[in-house]
Amino acid sequence: MLLQTLNTPKGVKITMNNLIIGTAGHIDHGKTTLIKALTGRETDRLKQEKERGISIELGFTYFDLPSGKRAGIIDVPGHEKFVKNMLAGVIGMDMVMLVIAADEGIMPQTREHLNILSLLDIDLGFVVLTKCDLVNEEWLEMITEDIKESLKDTFLENSPVIPIDSISKRGLDKTIETIESMSQKAKSRDISDTARLPVDRVFTITGFGTVVTGTMISGKMSISDEIQTYPGDKKGKIRSIQVHGEDSDHAYAGQRTALNISGIKKHDINKGDIIAPLNSMEETMKLDVKLKLLKDCQRILENRTRIRLHLGTREILCRVVFLDREFLTPGESSYAQLRLEEKVVAKRGDKFIIRFYSPVITIGGGEILEPNPSKRKRFDEKVIEELKIKEKGSTENVVERIIKDKSSQFPSLNQLSISTVIPKEKVKNILQKLSDNQKVIIFYLLNDIYVIHIDYYKKLIQDIQNQLIKFHRTYPLKFGIPKEEIRSRFLGSIKPKLGESCIDLLINDKIIKQNNDKVSIIDFTVKFSQLHKEIRDKIESIYTKEKFINLSKEELIESLDYNNNDSKQVLDALIDTGILVLLKEDIIIHKDVYLNSLDEAKKYILKNGSITLSEFRDVINTSRKYAVALLEDFDERKITRRVEDKRVLN
């Protein structure tokens, strides 16, 4: 039993070379007996298992190889009724021992287990031929050849076939020697990845509380880590850890692990849940996958067929929606979207098995390409191309594709980390590489990092430029469109400050330019006709001749001997281009007067430390109305700051 108590002395040596070995094979072919012979421990723990002489639930134990490497062993049920329990145990296996009884040979569950192992991309293992004491040498030789022939074109082709007798221990040394040798070829696991533990058992221990067990499939967990159950939102903390039955401060990818969790009750965790860090994964009701039907499947799989999905240690009902065909025949592969009946969490690259809803038989499996997709349109070439990239591309390619798809939302580093189930630091490094290669643009804002694809940025440039060009054609005497209007129209779905940063980038990149609160295309200038030039000169003359003229817009327009519409257009153009400054709705002064007034205010404050309204009024020789309007404008632009009844420089 993996976890007998949670207060045994610490002593397990944590290495990155832990090995998980699994058994597979038909019922009553000696899997449990083999494990007892190797380890000295019984993996059948349930009363009904001992009474019936068969494994129903998964069994776990371990032993040390001659090299000192600790090997965990998973004993899976062989009965066809318990294949779903077998599937839960396959997750995390590094190596498999395919157990075949010498007196019976390959049987139906032997083939089904072998198919499952192949679909889950387990490619390391060998055959253990049990019950050899029940057959003679001639039969043993014949059955060995038959097994080798049956294993052609599988990952066990040319693998060792070791005859053993678990009672007399014959062949056990050879089995251990083979495990030791093959362990050198086991795939390494990334302990820097997001920690994930698929739960295969959950129970309570008096005085300790909730305990979950499983095989760590990625990352690292430590005592006091805050964790969450997925799917769901139950949060807790790791109180203690056991690895292969002994206390440890940490658990690493590839280790059989038991976690004692505080803050979560037993009934809040189910077999099949994932234990992972807080807010590190995203629930989904859809999965984009590459699906493969077994060659020996006896039926075709039609679009929208209801099937059983085995993902991690969980079984979920779903419907398969083919994206590139109407049905799948034995031996074929297809891109598909699985529409689930319950929420799950997953990561790109996770393997899975599918079984018919009824009769419940294994028919195929595949790999997850996108764990959080939108609803896909069938027979869409863009969708198929995207899935091809996600199937064959590097992690960098996939992150780039996700950014490209979600650029209109300005995905954050945190969101990308959750959707890809990749730690933030790794995603950050990928973003930097993509930025260095000019494939994405990064925004540092609001205590997070946001990113868009360069293609989206180019399209945004084109759309905004087209809008501004259209505006300039319609209103040739107006400087441009209010900056806020551009942000709202083209970037209204994201946070305002993020949208403003993007507009500012367009200005910095000299795509557009800004004057006051308006923006225009970079090379736009207001072009006056001869008539408009005359009106312009006359208006400028009025505001330069009398610095603080008490005229409203309407009064000024009426005072001119021109068409009111022409006069209004020119007046608005002069305000837009900054030649005239609009302080309040009806208070207008020339920019030279404005700048001179500002200069006088600064000089006075620098000399005297501050300036009052009356002092400022006297300095620039104007009325209280204009002095108030100017000082309030200086405050708005954060040039000055009001302190009681005085102004000081900011």
**Predicted local confidence at residue 29, as pLDDT:** 76
Question: Residue 220 corresponds to which tokens in the numbers above?
Answer: 């690292």
Q: Beta-strand (E) ranges in 549-630? A: 580-584, 587-590, 611-612
Question: Which of 518, 403, 420, 502 minimizes the C-alpha distance to 461?
Answer: 502
**Predicted local confidence at residue 42, as pLDDT:** 65
The more confidently predicted of residues 254 and 224 is: 224
Q: Do residues 44 and 55 touch, judged by C-beta distance below 8 A?
A: yes
Sign of torsion, CA 35 37 43 46? positive
Least confident of 14-18, 92-96, 235-239: 14-18
Whole-angstrom distance, CA of residue 150 vs CA of residue 154: 9
Q: Give the global pTM.
A: 0.78
**Predicted local confidence at residue 89, as pLDDT:** 59
Q: Do residues 447 and 495 touch, judged by C-beta distance below 8 A?
A: no
Place of tokens 């650029």: 407
**Predicted local confidence at residue 349, as pLDDT:** 92
Question: Residue 82 corresponds to which tokens in the numbers above?
Answer: 């318990």
Judged against a pLDDT cut of 70, whether residue 216 lies above it is answered with: yes
Question: Which of 342, 385, 387 minimizes the C-alpha distance to 368?
Answer: 387
Domains of the chain: 19-183 (3.40.50.300), 197-277 (2.40.30.10), 284-386 (2.40.30.10), 393-527 (1.10.10.10), 528-650 (1.10.10.10)
Cβ within 8 Å of residue 377, ≥6 positions away: 383
Least confident of 324-333, 349-358, 409-418, 550-559: 550-559
Question: Residue 335 corresponds to which tokens in the numbers above?
Answer: 């891109």
**Predicted local confidence at residue 551, as pLDDT:** 85
pLDDT, one tens digit per residue, over 109-139 is 888 888 888 888 888 999 999 999 888 989 9
**Predicted local confidence at residue 43, as pLDDT:** 54
Whole-angstrom distance, CA of residue 621 vs CA of residue 614: 10
